[in-house]
Homo-oligomer: A and B are copies of this chain.
Amino acid sequence: MRIGFIGLGRMGSGMAANLLKAHHEVTVYNRTPEKTAPLVRQGAKAAANIAAACHGDCVITMLANDEAVEEVVMQPGGVITSLAPQACHVSCSTISVAMSQRLADAHAKANQRFVAAPVFGRPDAAAEHHLFILAAGESSAVTSVMPLLDAMGQRTFTVSAKPQDANLIKLSGNFLIGCVMESLGEAMALIGKAGLDREAYLAMLTSTLFTAPVYKTYGSMIATDTFEPAGFAASLGFKDVRLALAAAEELQVSMPFASVLRDRFLALLAHGGGDLDWSAIGRGAADDAAIG
């Protein structure tokens, strides 16, 4: 397929590279153009502007937040005005449910197709083809882009015919990861203040009841107070908790754990920790307990 790829951050670069490996014809665009060079070396074409990346069957966007999507998609010269009728926009960004719905409406009005396909995984997973992808949209549209999704991730879950449902599920997943980090942070503050070794404790947990990789990955960062370099920045983690709470508010669902996470992130950001890995919220309980 002839596809465009917009947004070559740490996630997007790995995803675009995997599309090239799968022999798709990929035209890449990034606001700061230097990021295109490594992909061009791997066979991509570089687009001079957004429109130039929208001339194929499909354009994939992987952007930081609602504001970036608004600018890239909705502005004049953006995706909406550049994409051909019946061509498909696949939005992999983690954005708000409301923005996803706005995109769906705008594409429908422009007689274009739209699939929301947010992903689970950090940059190394993106590079290594280990992402999990949540796809939602009209059945025929999802089917048409499935080869692209397969090229980017290890497995794709088709979750709904409404694109924004994929974004809701993605946000709920990041909420669940946040809960793992906070619960481990509290538990480690407790046993740590009693004088027990946090790494041995984590090893016991992850070899018994809590075998999921998220416990190992984030637990290790919390047990060793190692929050740099950031795989996923706290400022972005905060954004996702906010979006989960916003979606919950719209549905009139209260989520007290999410409120605790929100407060942890706010305290972390207020103390200058926005660039740390988001697992740094797991340090909050230790700080409150005046642990060294």
Contacts and interface: CB of A to CB of B under 8 A. Distances in A.
A22 interface: no
Contact of A267 (B200, B211, B254): B254
Interface size class of A (residues with CB under 8 A): 35 or more
B263 A249 contact: no
A191 B172 contact: yes
Interface of A: 120, 132, 134, 155, 157, 159-160, 165, 168-169, 172-173, 175-177, 179-180, 182-184, 186-187, 189-191, 193-196, 200-201, 204-205, 207-215, 242, 244, 247-249, 251-260, 262-264, 266-267, 269-272, 285, 288-290
B155 A251 contact: no
Nearest to A266: B254
Q: Determine how many copies of this chain the complex contains.
A: 4
Interface centre among A213, A249, A270 (most CB of B within 10 A): A270
Given A253-B266, A253-B289, 16 more contacts: A159-B200, A160-B196, A169-B201, A172-B190, A176-B184, A186-B255, A190-B247, A209-B212, A209-B213, A254-B264, A254-B266, A254-B288, A255-B263, A256-B260, A267-B289, A272-B290
A191 B210 CA distance: 24
A212 B190 CA distance: 23
Contacts of A269: 252
A255 B286 CA distance: 10
Nearest to A182: B257
A157 B202 CA distance: 12
A189 B208 CA distance: 28
A244 to B, nearest CB: 7
Given A177-B209, A257-B186, A266 B252 contact: yes
A193 B257 contact: no
A166 to B, nearest CB: 10
21 contacts: A132-B209, A157-B204, A159-B201, A165-B191, A165-B196, A168-B196, A176-B183, A176-B184, A179-B180, A182-B257, A183-B257, A190-B255, A211-B212, A248-B266, A251-B289, A252-B266, A252-B270, A254-B262, A256-B259, A266-B289, A270-B289
